[in-house]
Amino acid sequence: QQPVQSPQAVILREGEDAVINCSSSKALYSVHWYRQKHGEAPVFLMILLKGGEQKGHEKISASFNEKKQQSSLYLTASQLSYSGTYFCGTEIGSGNTPLVFGKGTRLSVIA
């Protein structure tokens, strides 16, 4: 039931782009993206609902492919502040259920 995130880790130089994927074997109702910096609480980035449109947050955007039950997080022109671990949280079925999180993708942006 836990969604699968890929890649597990990625290293970028400032200004480079990255894509993080989140896939589920179950029919998804929504996908939530969070970023967690070391030793801190996860922070909500955005939510994508089934049938909804692509969302954006600064230079971070995401899409939801219902056919593939997959969401992708796009980070463009990465900044040092983007470093952290990104988690997707998924709601299955018709919603109204707690989020099930993936194992996370560790992103490191270097100068």
Partner 1 sequence: DGGITQSPKYLFRKEGQNVTLSCEQNLNHDAMYWYRQDPGQGLRLIYYSQIVNDFQKGDIAEGYSVSREKKESFPLTVTSAQKNPTAFYLCASSISPGVPEAFFGQGTRLTVV
Q: How many residues sit in the footprint of partner 1 (CB under 8 A)?
A: 24
Counting contacts by CB under 8 A, is residue 82 touching partner 1?
Answer: no
Q: Does 100 bind partner 1 (CB under 8 A)?
A: yes
- CB nearer partner 1, residue 30 or residue 72: 30
Q: How far is the CB of 34 from partner 1 (least distance, A)?
A: 8
Binding residue for partner 1, selected from 16, 47, 76, 108, defined by CB under 8 A: 47
Judged by CB under 8 A, the residue of 30, 69, 70, 71 near partner 1 is 30
**Smallest separation, CB 65 to partner 1 (Å):** 20
Q: Considering only CA atoms, which of 71, 95, 103 is closest in space to residue 2?
A: 103
Sorted by sequence, the CB contacts under 8 Å of residue 73 that are 6+ apart come out as 19, 20, 21, 22, 33, 45, 60, 61, 62, 86, 88
